[in-house]
Amino acid sequence: MARYLGKEATRVDGLAKVTGKAKYTAEFQIPNVAYGFIVLSTEAKGRITAIDTREAEQAGGVVRVFTHMNTGKLGPAPAAGAPPAWSWPLQSDRVFFNGQPIALVVAESYEQARYAARLVKATYETESHNTDFSKVLARAQPDPATAKGKPRGNPVAAMQTAAVKVEAEYRIPINHHNPIEPHAAIAFWQGDQLTIFDKTQEVFGVQKHLAESLGVPAENIRVVSPFVGGAFGASLKPNYYPSLTAMAARELKRPVKVVYTRTQMFTGHGYRPDTIQKIALGAERNGKLTSMIHEAFHNTSSFESFSDSTTGFTRQLYSCPNLHAPLKVAATDLATPTWMRAPGAVSGMFALECAMDELAYMLKIDPMELRLVNYAETDPESGKPFSSKALRECYRLGAEKFGWKSRKAEPRSMRDGRLLVGWGMASSVWGAMQMPASARVTFRADGTAGVTSATSDIGPGTYTVMTMIAAEFLGLRLEQVHFELGDTRQPKAPAQGGSWTTSSVGSAVRGAALTIVAKLLDLANRDAASPLKGAASTDVEMLDGVLRLKRDAARSVVIADVMRRTGTNEI
């Protein structure tokens, strides 16, 4: 029986967070630190013809003002024919979007840097721009990432002969992440070695980005991010401020700290893209789908491609013989979108499920019944069985818990006093993904364990979950396990995103813990009288200081005795 897995536990990092002991990026105290403040463009497209920094440079406490005129080179040379990239900030006079960094003011205090930043004056040669996605739809191009998904059957012909049709259009405006902790970085150099504290969901991603940006070996860069105050995808892709911060620290030969304002959070890291979706559903009178056409369009920037894979999961949710789910992308003069909270999937499911509700209303069929009529018992794309699927049971349990049978189907028929009450249901899909991950587990003779992995914890409880997994397979109490994360000096782990952290990093922790079990068994069996002779590592388990046979707990050894007898301090 599981001791911890699947059960409730108090968060191991909870006390540190509520008492302020947990340090977030901007809270680390580094001696002699200078403060940087980023100046943003006020035009959407064009060139900087002049940038006057004289008044800012004369302001109190200002150390230096960096612009494209005096900033060292960041990033590799662009490939032949590549669009003019701004990904490496302050590298040219080009402006691609309102809110693009055009200067970095560094001063002795944050207040001085922010004040001086207001004194920087830029003059622009503006160009015609377009930030209205609806006006560039005609220029949308098929998304290469999803273009390979060919139509299933003949959806157009099936739509023409369908007994019932629903056609609808849905638009999702730009969504911003804006988590409680703003973006921040602190960088300092020791010779050719860089240490940077950064708010990130992937320390190794930032390390790679900075190595490319600064032209230094990745092994010379240490990225530290022990606590992250929410991210929602905003910190998956390296942003522009780490390279600016590290560059300034190298140029000034002293530590530099950069922290976003709340306003800067709206242009500093991407967003869920502006999305327009056109859905057509064809069905029989009993609700059985005969055709699905789900067209999606979203924006990207003028200088960088991005795919939200908006229609990807439409192909999997319902059983339908005829389907087409294309995605097209059009450039706007805005910052590049990025991943945000179930990227693509939640946007596509929103539109599809709204259309399914419209179809249910038209046919006077219960919305849940319509989903069950079209339930996919096997993967509609491949025909292969799902490794597991409990959606039907979720429908049943949800309906039971929420009293679905008591629902009134007629719109605007339910009220709570003066308030209209909506009562609906919807389905969604997300992948069960797993990524390569590694972890280090150290078991000590005093019965404690240290666990490390360079993963992240943006709030779901990674510290606690990994502690629970290690404690489960090492047979320890939670307080006997200490887990650390968020440092490139630790074993490599993937970004925290995609809902894969527990399955990926957790599997690595489990694997390392089971290796400890195997090594302890080997040590125990060096004793000719060991009661575990002949047992395989899969036959034994650790629990409360003993290594024992699973099927016969009486056959056991005290772990402390084994380690003392073999002169082993830690494994």
pLDDT class of 243 with cuts at 50, 70, 90: very high
Smallest CA-to-CA distance from 282 within 159, 373, 380 is with 159
Q: What is the pLDDT of residues 114-128, one digit of tens each?
A: 999 999 999 999 999
Residue-level pLDDT at 190: 98
| C-alpha pair distances (Å), 113 with each of 22, 63, 68, 212 | 27, 9, 18, 28
Q: Which amino acid is at 247?
A: M
Residue-level pLDDT at 147: 66
Q: What is the pLDDT of residues 446-501, one digit of tens each?
A: 999 999 999 999 999 999 999 999 999 999 999 999 999 999 999 999 999 999 99
274: pLDDT strictly greater than 60: yes
Rg (CA), the chain: 28
With 0-12 / 13-18 / 19 or more C-beta atoms within 10 angstroms meaning exposed / middle / buried, residue 364 is exposed
pLDDT class of 71 with cuts at 50, 70, 90: very high
78: pLDDT strictly greater than 90: no
Residue-level pLDDT at 109: 99
pLDDT class of 86 with cuts at 50, 70, 90: low
**Vertex 222 angle, CA 219 and 227, to 5°:** 145
Tell me if 102 sits within 8 A of 46, measured CB to CB.
no
69: pLDDT strictly greater than 60: yes
Residue-level pLDDT at 489: 98
374: pLDDT strictly greater than 90: yes
Strands 94-95, 275-283: pairing is unpaired
With 0-12 / 13-18 / 19 or more C-beta atoms within 10 angstroms meaning exposed / middle / buried, residue 239 is buried
CA 88 – CA 368 distance, rounded (Å): 50
CA 476 – CA 559 distance, rounded (Å): 12
**Domains plus CATH for the chain?**
25-127+179-266 (3.30.365.10), 133-175+271-420 (3.30.365.10), 440-565 (3.30.365.10)
Q: What is the pLDDT of residues 133-166, one digit of tens each?
A: 999 999 999 988 776 678 999 999 999 999 999 9
Tell me if 97 sits within 8 A of 45, measured CB to CB.
yes
SS3 content of the chain, % helix, strand, coil (to 5): 30, 25, 50
With 0-12 / 13-18 / 19 or more C-beta atoms within 10 angstroms meaning exposed / middle / buried, residue 58 is exposed
Residue-level pLDDT at 410: 86
DSSP assignment of 71-127, as one string?
Answer: PPP-SPPPPTT-----SSSSSSSEE-STT-EEEEEEESSHHHHHHHHTT-EEEEEE-
| C-alpha pair distances (Å), 418 with each of 403, 408, 409, 424, 463 | 22, 17, 19, 19, 45
54: pLDDT strictly greater than 70: yes
64: pLDDT strictly greater than 80: yes
CA 210 – CA 204 distance, rounded (Å): 10
79: pLDDT strictly greater than 90: no
77: pLDDT strictly greater than 80: no
Residue-level pLDDT at 81: 47
When pLDDT is averaged across residues 322-326 and rounded to a whole number, the result is 97
CA 47 – CA 86 distance, rounded (Å): 12
Smallest CA-to-CA distance from 414 within 424, 422, 406 is with 422
| Block residue for tokens 């190298």 | 250
CA 243 – CA 220 distance, rounded (Å): 14
83: pLDDT strictly greater than 70: no
Q: Taking all residues of the chain, what is their mean pLDDT, rounded to a whole number?
A: 95
| C-alpha pair distances (Å), 77 with each of 80, 100, 236, 258, 535 | 9, 20, 24, 26, 59
Measured in whole angstroms, the distance separating CA 220 from the mean position of its chain's CA atoms is 26
pLDDT class of 434 with cuts at 50, 70, 90: very high
CA 334 – CA 86 distance, rounded (Å): 12
Burial 455-473 (b: 16+ CB within 10 A, else e): bbbbbebbbbbbbbbbbbb
Residue-level pLDDT at 135: 95
93: pLDDT strictly greater than 80: yes
57: pLDDT strictly greater than 60: yes
**Vertex 503 angle, CA 500 and 504, to 5°:** 75
| Block residue for tokens 């189907």 | 409
CA 195 – CA 115 distance, rounded (Å): 28
Smallest CA-to-CA distance from 542 within 481, 452, 471, 480 is with 471
HEC assignment per residue over 306-323: CCCCCCCCHHHHECCCCE
When pLDDT is averaged across residues 162-175 and rounded to a whole number, the result is 98
Q: Cβ of 167: how many Cβ atoms within 10 Å?
A: 13
Q: What is the pLDDT of residues 405-414, one digit of tens each?
A: 988 888 898 8
Tell me if 299 sits within 8 A of 332, measured CB to CB.
yes
State the DSSP H helix or E strand holding residue 555, giving kind and residue range, or none if neither: strand 552-558
Q: What is the pLDDT of residues 501-555, one digit of tens each?
A: 999 999 999 999 999 999 999 999 999 899 999 999 999 999 999 999 999 999 9
Tell me if 460 sits within 8 A of 501, measured CB to CB.
yes
29: pLDDT strictly greater than 80: yes
The first and second tokens of residue 542, run together, are 């650790």
Residues 6+ apart with CB under 8 A from 149: 311, 312, 315, 325, 326
